[in-house]
Structure 1
Amino acid sequence: MRTSISRFLIVPVVLLLAGVLPQHAQAQTTQKHFDQQLYNTILHMDSVCFDAFNARDMQRLKAVFADNVEFYHDLGGLTYYDETMKNFEKMFVQNKATGLKRALVKGSLEIYQIKDFGAIEVGVHKFTHVENGKEVVGLLKFLHVWQYKNNEWKITRVISYDH
């Protein structure tokens, strides 16, 4: 009798959990303290940064990064401002003919406020270029720490990963 009761109870519990867990997992992906104005601001700053990147405009690109930026790359290691800018310049020269472009993956962006400092931007971006006549697409993850200081938003930390 005990076995049949246990089986009788297991089926509803499993079905209940099957219905609850996907909702719980989905709820975890929603930001708890969403601030639309901050989201719009960082989304705008992301586009300022990567419009400059896509245009290979070093002056505009340099203006988005703080002088004390730390750029962490899972394959390339840690670089600071001067080396990071040199790496951008090298990348632009090496990819002059490839059409290297970056686009933010829609729906991937998350923004979190950092009290009395700025914001964290987390997302996925897509880099495309042409290699051997074929378009190559890379989806990569990133985290940017933005500081709001002297009425300007600047990136102070970059973590680029999942290459």
Structure 2
Amino acid sequence: MNLKKITSLALLLSFASITSLSAQIKSTSEVFQILKEKDSILFNVGFNTCSTAAFEEIINEDFEFYHDESGVTTSKSSFITAIRDGLCGNKDAFRSRRELIPESLEVFLLKDNGVVYGAIQKGIHRFFERVPGNKENPGSTAKFTHLWVLVANEWKLKRILSYDHTMGNN
């Protein structure tokens, strides 16, 4: 095969992969709505109210969490313990609250031979912080990517990437 054909094939494959990666599903689709609800359980219930029992149902057993500032958590139990004993350990101390920026949420299906086995959910969220005796203040804004997998027909959160944290006006 000559160089021109190889270059053409490489460009075609690159374009095909870019096109398929941008095939986000509609926000009205059932999967989008299910994963949006799971995001709400993860943050509005689990993170914001410290109801860590909510994590048990939605987090996969081989869970991993990658954070650009606080490092890696390599198990479901370590993640739940870190939230319960850290952020939620003393409700009269520092508190953090997360808000999803709704219009930023995107979902992309993952398929194996046409069968959906997972989804990538990504978006932007902002955090607000409260120190005892003070009002809530804007904290960081960050991007997130969640890998959801279907386990026995249930969506389970397998991986979280939390990155590009920036301080400033939310």
Instruction: Calculate the TM-score normalised by the size of structure 1.
Output: 0.73
Quote how far apart the aligned CAs of 1:66 are: 0.7
Quote how far apart the aligned CAs of 1:128 are: 0.9
Quote how far apart the aligned CAs of 1:117 are: 1.5
* Percent identical: 29
User: Structure 1: 5+ residue runs without aligned partners?
Assistant: 1-27
Report the counterpart of residue 45 of structure 1 in structure 2: 38
Question: Which letter maps to 1:43?
Answer: K
Q: How many residues align?
A: 134
Report the counterpart of residue 59 of structure 1 in structure 2: 53
Write the distance in 1 (CA, Å) between the matches of 2:109 and 2:67: 23
Show the 5 A alignment for 1:122-161.
Answer: 122-131=122-131, 133-134=134-135, 135-161=137-163
Aligned CA-pair RMSD = 2.1
Quote how far apart the aligned CAs of 1:94 are: 4.9
Do the aligned residues in 2 keep the contact of 1:53 with 1:61 (CA within 8 Å)?
no
Quote how far apart the aligned CAs of 1:43 are: 0.8
SS of 1:47's equivalent?
helix
SS of 2:47's equivalent?
helix
Instruction: Calculate the TM-score normalised by the size of structure 2.
Output: 0.70
Report the counterpart of residue 32 of structure 1 in structure 2: 23
Relative to its length, the structure with more helix (as a share) is 1
* Larger Rg belongs to: 1
